[in-house]
Amino acid sequence: METYEILQSYWWFLISVLGAALVFLLFVQGGQTMLLGARSDLQRTMMVNSLGRKWELSFTTLVVFGGAFFASFPLFYSTSFGGAYWLWMLILLGFVLQAVSYEFRKKKGNVYGTRTFDIFLCINGILGCMLLGVAVGTFFFGAEFTVQKGNLLNTAAPAISTWSPTHGLEAIFHWRNLLLGIAVLFLARMQAALYFINTIDDGANYRQQRKAVLVNGGVFVLLFVVFLVILLTADGHQADILDGREVITIVPFKYFHNFIEMWWALAALLIGVAAVIYAYAKTVLCDNYKCGIWYSGIGTALVVMSLFWVAGYNGTAYYPSLLDPASSLTISNSSSSPFTLTVMSWVTVIIPFVVAYIAYAWYSLNKKPITPDEMSGDDHKY
């Protein structure tokens, strides 16, 4: 394998890691969808302050994920972010509402009341989970766009991609994308309940969140099994080099073959699914078990990474075009130059230090569980 191909594969691996981290951190959004169902103001306050310790991590990870995609695979960034306008604008709107809500929910002089901002947080939770799931769904089931790189030389119309007139709305209402989006929403809600169990020391909260794990986890497992069946039986776009040119062909059962040919992706999927099911079952069946979020989080990360691997590796087009298969994007035809990828790869040596800092910050913030007595006053942050 040439150095350039190694760099492209390396950066797709980093993208998969960031995507996995983002999906795991969506438990913040999942928890926000549960605020309006709190049984008391005290319970809602405990939930908000528990989530408030982590909301910046999910927001920052989303920004880093987008930035890494822009730097390493700029053609995807310009094609998807520039063409699927309404999909990404709705995601952005949801996260803006989140930032505003955590900033002003308990601020003095808030004339709208905390419930208004709780509704904003719920909107962010629903939009953030479902629409990010829809966006990932387009990696497998495609989008309506075409790419003309020659347009860069056309000063009158320099856009290199053209989209259907709905500009991303069609992706939202594609049933297979929507299925994955709803599955991600219920996964986030299950993990939020596991997180509340781990970080809030209150008997009433424990009982309620345990029921939430049972219901939301059960719905997620059902939806994810359906999604996997659809994925494994779906056609995929295969990129092959013929006479020095990349040729895209449609291959039946492409993702099934990818899992078979890349045993490590299949292993990650199976281990990840087993970890999530273990966290779900032990929380539901065992009294006073509070560590499910860790098994579920690790399992979620492994599953998401395996899905990214079968979407981009093994000559697979990770962004199939439904209008023109030849316009489909692969990690080889959409990446940055060798120089750019090399320079950025040197920067990634700081990643272990960043991960260590995040782990330390997480431990420090969660070292002491939230209690009702602690939240009964007005001196809490959120």
Q: For residue 186, what pLDDT band results from cuts at 50, 70 and 90?
A: very high
CB neighbour list of residue 337: distance below 8 Å, 6 or more residues apart: none
- Could you give the 3-state DSSP secondary structure of residue 191? helix
Amino acid at 37: G
Q: Rounded to an integer, what distance in angstroms lies between the CA atom of residue 295 and that of residue 292? A: 5
Question: Residue 346, Cβ neighbours under 10 Å: how many?
Answer: 8
What does R_g of the chain's alpha carbons equal in angstroms?
A: 22
Assess whether pLDDT exceeds 60 at residue 342.
yes
- Could you read off the pLDDT of 40-64 as tens digits, one per residue? 888 888 999 889 888 888 888 888 8
- State residue 145's pLDDT score: 84
Q: How does 92-130 read in b/e, with b if 16+ C-beta sit within 10 Å?
A: eebbebbeebbebbbeeeeeeebeebbbbbbbbbbbbbb
Q: Going from the N-terminus, what domains does the chain have, and what CATH number goes with each?
A: 3-144+176-366 (1.20.1630.10)
Minimum mean pLDDT range among 175-189, 198-212, 290-304: 198-212
Q: What backbone torsions phi and psi does residue 238 show, to the nearest 5 degrees?
A: -105, 130
- Could you read off the pLDDT of 300-336 as tens digits, one per residue? 999 999 999 999 999 999 999 988 888 899 999 889 9
Helix or strand holding residue 163 (H, E): strand 161-163
Q: Rounded to an integer, what distance in angstroms lies between the CA atom of residue 178 and that of residue 164? A: 19
Amino acid at 370: I
Q: Rounded to an integer, what distance in angstroms lies between the CA atom of residue 145 and that of residue 93? A: 23
- Could you give the 3-state DSSP secondary structure of residue 158? coil
Using the 8-state DSSP alphabet, how is residue 33 labeled?
A: T
Residue pair 369/45 in contact (Cβ under 8 Å)? The answer is: no
Q: Rounded to an integer, what distance in angstroms lies between the CA atom of residue 255 and that of residue 259? A: 6
Which residues are paired to 377 by β-bridges? none
- State residue 376's pLDDT score: 66
Percent of the chain with pLDDT over 70: 94
- Could you give the 3-state DSSP secondary structure of residue 242? strand
Structure tokens at 135: 């966006």
- State residue 353's pLDDT score: 81
Residue pair 87/135 in contact (Cβ under 8 Å)? The answer is: yes
Of 350, 307, 352, 345, whose CA–CA distance to 7 is shortest?
Answer: 345
What average pLDDT does this structure show over 245-251? 87
30 vs 202 pLDDT, higher one: 30
Q: Rounded to an integer, what distance in angstroms lies between the CA atom of residue 276 and that of residue 124? A: 24
Helix or strand holding residue 172 (H, E): helix 169-172
Assess whether pLDDT exceeds 80 at residue 361.
no
What average pLDDT does this structure show over 102-106? 84
